[in-house]
């Protein structure tokens, strides 16, 4: 004989969902899972991201890149001969490579800027046409 507290309650057994998901809630009713509750109350979360935390992360990333750059320059100090469009000169290998990277970045930024201008101009034209 078992103790009364060990016996199951009378009545039909209720199904138990081992992992409730937000899709298990009927449409139109809010889900009460912890993930959706925290997503809806993000403004009350004291650990949410902020502008200051973003700036801090950017400064840390910039510092790490700077340290790697200093190590790169320190390890690549041997002089190399550089020729470009009739100009010729000697410079440390690290400086030559950094100048090449900077030139590549500038050309990429220029191409991206021109593409943005093109898309913005097209959007303005389409917006004007749709207003007429």
Percent with pLDDT over 90 in the chain: 18
Q: Show the tokens assigned to 105.
A: 């970045």
Q: Is residue 46 part of a domain?
A: no
**Dist. CA 130–CA 11, nearest whole Å:** 65
**Dist. CA 4–CA 72, nearest whole Å:** 75
**Dist. CA 74–CA 94, nearest whole Å:** 8
Nearest to 48 by CA among 59, 62, 38, 63: 38
Q: Is residue 96 part of a domain?
A: yes
pLDDT at residue 127 above 50? Answer: yes
Domain residues for the domain of 94 are: 52-131
Angle at 69 between CA 68 and CA 73, to 5 degrees: 120
Q: In this structure, are residues 71 and 65 in contact, taking their beta carbons and an 8 Å threshold?
A: no
Angle at 106 between CA 125 and CA 58, to 5 degrees: 95
Q: Is residue 98 part of a domain?
A: yes
**Dist. CA 93–CA 97, nearest whole Å:** 6
Q: Is residue 82 part of a domain?
A: yes
pLDDT at residue 108 above 90? Answer: yes
Q: Is residue 78 part of a domain?
A: yes
Q: Is residue 3 part of a domain?
A: no
- Reported as type and span, the H/E element at residue 110 is helix 93-131
* 11-44 pLDDT per residue, tens: 555 555 555 554 444 555 554 555 544 444 556 7
Q: Is residue 112 part of a domain?
A: yes
The pTM for the full model equals 0.47
Q: Is residue 16 part of a domain?
A: no
Dihedral sign from CA coordinates of 31, 35, 36, 41: positive
Domain count, the chain: 1
Q: In this structure, are residues 48 and 42 in contact, taking their beta carbons and an 8 Å threshold?
A: yes
């Amino acid at each position: 004989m078992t103790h009364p507290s060990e016996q199951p309650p009378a009545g039909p057994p209720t199904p138990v969902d081992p992992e409730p998901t937000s899709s298990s809630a009927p449409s139109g009713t809010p889900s009460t899972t912890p993930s959706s509750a925290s997503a809806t109350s993000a403004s009350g979360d004291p650990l949410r991201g902020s502008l200051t935390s973003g700036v801090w992360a950017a400064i840390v990333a910039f510092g790490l890149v700077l340290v790697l750059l200093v190590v790169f320059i320190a390890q690549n100090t041997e002089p190399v001969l550089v020729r470009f469009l009739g100009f010729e000169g000697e410079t440390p290998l690290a400086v030559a490579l950094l100048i090449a990277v900077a030139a590549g970045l500038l050309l990429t930024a220029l191409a991206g800027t021109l593409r943005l201008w093109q898309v913005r101009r097209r959007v303005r034209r389409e917006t004007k046409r749709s207003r007429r």
